[in-house]
């Protein structure tokens, strides 16, 4: 019974984090692309394209953190101190970009300040999320039930790579979102940005995928030993197919396909990460069963999650449906 609950919760938290990446990735990407789009009117459109939904998107990050606290308190209590600096920098970045949605339109003379705040906050948040991811993959020092490392353990060449990788990936998602939601010059600009960003994203996926098995023999084992290799082979094969499809979709001027394929690439990378990490929740220290809260806690929240998550997905989908279609720059419905 305890086995099942811990596993279900690991899946649920993994789902929450994936939902966060899929949903908030593109609206962080909009911020990352702000410096590449100069016209004030275009920036209005970019912001308006995500203004009604960004808050809901970010809530998945709260669920990821809150769910970890509830279901795997030991993991929460050791990973948070280990990732202290990147997490706090990420939060500060999210503060800047979150308030910019309102402040930018309320400011008169200081509008530029919030343009910069939106862009810098988005880039910082994305970069720190990537660093946190990299630091999680490379593992943290533990003694007993506590983090035992220093406050700069997270800073390595690998984590800097994952930081940059996530910024590039989110920027690509942002460009694909703009292709989906805009028309005219802004859309053309997004197409032009998407090509190098797509290439960059492919390079980053490749670099991180090759580096990760080098970090630990058991990760390499999982990917390169027989017959595992056969089981996991679909992941890299699908990545290559998706990238080819993405290039074709951008080159032929498709509206929706670039966004869907970029999201698909994120999902594939995420699955790859899951293959490397499972069943650890604090890599090579605590498995999901070591860190799980007692079954009474897991069961109590699971009842609510089972009822409420489908409802949440329902009204989230409804909100997206209400604001469907192209953003009309003339109407500025915001």
248 binds other proteins (CB under 8 A): no
Q: How many residues would you count in the chain?
A: 334
- Binding part of the chain for other proteins, among 30-38, 86-94, 209-217, 239-247 by CB under 8 A, reads 86-94
CA-wise closest residue to 137 among 289, 272, 293, 288: 272
Q: Which of 151, 231, 233, 248 binds other proteins (CB under 8 A)?
A: 151
Q: Is residue 247 within the footprint of other proteins (CB under 8 A)?
A: no
- Judged by CB under 8 A, the residue of 146, 203, 237, 251 near other proteins is 146
DSSP state of 325: S
Q: Which residue from 15, 90, 26 is spatially nearest to 270, judged by alpha carbons?
A: 15
- Minimum distance between the CB of residue 250 and other proteins, rounded to whole angstroms? 28
Residues 159-198 interacting with other proteins (rule: CB under 8 A) = none
Contact status, residue 94 vs residue 58, Cβ threshold 8 Å: yes
The verdict on 70 binding other proteins (CB under 8 A) reads yes
Please select the residue that binds other proteins; options are 11, 92, 229, 233, rule is CB under 8 A: 92
Closest Cα to residue 11, out of 233, 270, 290?
A: 270
Question: Helix, strand or coil for residue 107?
Answer: coil
Question: How far apart, in whole angstroms, are the C-alpha atoms of residue 230 and residue 265?
Answer: 20
Q: Which of 84, 211, 264, 289 binds other proteins (CB under 8 A)?
A: 84
Residue 77 found at the interface with other proteins (CB under 8 A): yes
Our CB check for other proteins shows the closer of 40 and 185 to be: 40
Residue 308 to residue 69: CA distance in whole angstroms: 18
Q: Is 76 in the site for other proteins (CB under 8 A)?
A: yes
We find the least distance from the C-beta atom of residue 8 to other proteins, in angstroms, to be 14
Told to check if 231 binds other proteins by CB under 8 A, we report no
112 counts as binding other proteins under rule CB under 8 A: no
Tell me which stretch binds other proteins (CB under 8 A): 97-105, 218-226, 235-243, 278-286. Answer: 97-105
- Smallest distance, other proteins to C-beta of residue 153, A: 12
- 309 makes contact with other proteins (CB under 8 A): yes
**Closest distance between other proteins and the C-beta of residue 213, in Å?**
29
Residues 6+ apart with CB under 8 A from 264: 238, 242
301 binds other proteins (CB under 8 A): yes
25-64 residues in contact with other proteins (CB under 8 A) are 40-41, 44, 51-53, 55-56, 58-59, 61-63
DSSP 18-72: HHHHHHHHHHHHHHHHGGG---HHHHHHHHHHHTTTHHHHHHHHHHHHHHHHHH-
The upper half-sphere exposure of residue 102, i.e. CA atoms within 13 Å in the direction of its Cβ, equals 4
- Among 2, 11, 91, 231, indicate the residue that binds other proteins (CB under 8 A): 91
290 binds other proteins (CB under 8 A): no
Asked if 204 touches other proteins (CB under 8 A), the answer is no
Nearer to other proteins, 111 or 216 (CB): 111
Reported as half-sphere exposure (CB side, CA atoms, 13 A), residue 173 has a value of: 25
Tell me how far apart the alpha carbons of residues 191 and 63 are, in angstroms, rounded to a whole number: 33
Spell out the residues 6+ positions from residue 141 whose beta carbon is closer than 8 angstroms to its own: 82, 147, 148, 149, 153
Q: Which stretch binds other proteins (CB under 8 A): 139-147, 183-191, 212-220, 229-237?
A: 139-147
């Amino acid at each position: 019974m305890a086995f099942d609950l811990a596993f279900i919760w690991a899946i649920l938290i993994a789902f929450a984090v994936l939902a966060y990446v899929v949903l908030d990735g593109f609206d962080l990407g909009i911020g990352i692309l702000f410096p590449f789009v100069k016209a004030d009117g275009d920036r209005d459109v970019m912001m308006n394209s995500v203004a009604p939904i960004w808050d809901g998107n970010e809530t998945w990050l709260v669920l990821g953190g809150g769910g970890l606290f509830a279901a795997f308190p030991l993991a929460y209590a050791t990973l948070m101190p280990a990732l202290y600096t990147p997490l706090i920098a990420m939060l500060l970045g999210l503060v800047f970009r979150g308030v910019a949605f309102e402040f930018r339109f309320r400011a008169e003379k200081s509008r530029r300040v919030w343009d910069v705040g939106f862009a810098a906050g988005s880039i910082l948040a994305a970069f720190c999320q990537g660093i946190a991811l990299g630091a999680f993959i490379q593992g943290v020092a533990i003694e007993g039930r506590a983090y035992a490392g220093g406050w700069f353990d997270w800073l390595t060449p690998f984590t800097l790579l994952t930081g940059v990788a996530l910024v590039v990936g989110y920027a690509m998602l942002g460009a694909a979102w703009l292709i989906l939601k805009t028309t005219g010059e802004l859309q053309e600009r997004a197409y032009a940005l998407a090509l190098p960003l797509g290439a960059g994203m492919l390079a980053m996926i490749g670099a991180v995928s090759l580096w990760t098995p080098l970090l630990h023999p058991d990760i390499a084992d999982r990917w390169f030993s027989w017959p595992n290799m056969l089981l996991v082979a679909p992941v890299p094969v699908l990545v290559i197919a998706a990238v080819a499809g993405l290039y074709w979709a951008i080159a032929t001027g498709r509206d929706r396909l670039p966004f869907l394929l970029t999201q698909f690439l994120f999902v594939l990378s995420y699955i790859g990460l899951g293959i490397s990490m499972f069943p650890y929740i604090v890599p090579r220290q605590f498995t999901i069963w070591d860190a799980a809260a007692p079954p009474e806690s897991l069961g109590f929240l699971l009842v609510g999650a089972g009822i409420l998550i489908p409802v949440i997905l329902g009204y989230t989908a409804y909100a997206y449906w209400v604001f469907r279609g192209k953003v009309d720059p003339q109407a500025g419905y915001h």
